[in-house]
Structure formats: C-alpha cells, structure tokens
C-alpha cells in the first residue's frame, strides 16, 4: 500500500468519525437521573427538554421556598453546540484529506507516466 492510499484511508476514517459524531444522538442529564434527548448535531430537537422544563417545580408558585432552576433547553442547546463544534471540523478535515489524496495522487501518477 503506497502513501497515497494510506492518506486516503486515514482521511476516510477521520471523515467517518466526523459523520458519526454528527449523527449520534445528544442527551443531557435530566431530573431524577433521567436522560433528556436533544436530537443530534444535524437536527436538534428540544421538545423533550421543553417538556422537562414545563414539569419543573420551579415553574409552580411556592411561597418561601427556593427551588434551583435547571434550564434543560439551554443545556440541550449547549450540548448540541459542543457536538457541532468538534464534529463538523473533523468531517471537513477528513473530506479535504480524502479529496487531496485523490487530487495530489492523481497528478503525481500522471507525471510519472509521462
């Protein structure tokens, strides 16, 4: 296996890792140890987080009691944003390496044949 195919293989692996990172579901810890789904990095879905926020007792008026407020929608948005922050660049780098391996390797092969 020559260097060109090794570079293309490494780029393909990096690309697959980035795409899997985009597609794997994102979740945050909810009340009572439950997991709240937030969709994935491609399509965020905060409906479960909105429902958990709606069921949160902080939204009910209770006199003389302080209940810590957890904003699950904001946590979901943050988790999805963090996933996008690393998975999109990883996928782009993998795509560039794969494309570069084919373009540069193709040029080198033609120069040697001529």
Q: What pLDDT does 80 receive? A: 95
Model pLDDT for residues 1-48, shown as the tens digit of each residue: 688 889 999 999 999 999 999 999 999 998 788 899 999 999 999 898
Cα–Cα separations (whole angstroms), residue 22 to 18, 38, 86, 90: 6, 13, 9, 10
Assigned token pair, 67:
């209940």
What average pLDDT does the segment 73-81 reach? 94
Cβ–Cβ < 8 Å for 46, 76: yes
**Count of domains observed in the chain:** 1
Q: What is the pTM of this model?
A: 0.76
Cβ–Cβ < 8 Å for 75, 49: yes
Model pLDDT for residues 22-33, shown as the tens digit of each residue: 999 999 998 788
Task: Quickly tell me which residue has 């905060």 as its tokens.
Answer: 46
Where is pLDDT greater, at 16 or 109? 16
Q: What pLDDT does 20 receive? A: 97
* CA dist., res. 69 & res. 60, Å (int): 11
Query: What SS3 class is residue 24?
Result: coil
Q: Whole domain around residue 33: which residue ranges?
A: 3-113
């Amino acid at each position: 296996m020559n260097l060109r195919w090794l570079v293309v293989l490494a780029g393909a692996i990096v690309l697959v890792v980035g795409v899997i990172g985009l597609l794997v579901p994102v979740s945050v810890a909810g009340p009572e140890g439950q997991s709240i789904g937030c969709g994935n990095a491609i399509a965020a879905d905060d409906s479960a987080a909105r429902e958990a926020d709606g069921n949160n007792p902080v939204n009910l008026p209770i006199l003389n009691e302080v209940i810590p407020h957890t904003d699950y929608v904001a946590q979901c948005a943050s988790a999805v944003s963090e996933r996008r922050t690393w998975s999109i660049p990883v996928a782009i780098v993998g795509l560039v390496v794969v494309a570069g391996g084919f373009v540069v390797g193709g040029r080198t092969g033609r120069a040697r044949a001529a």
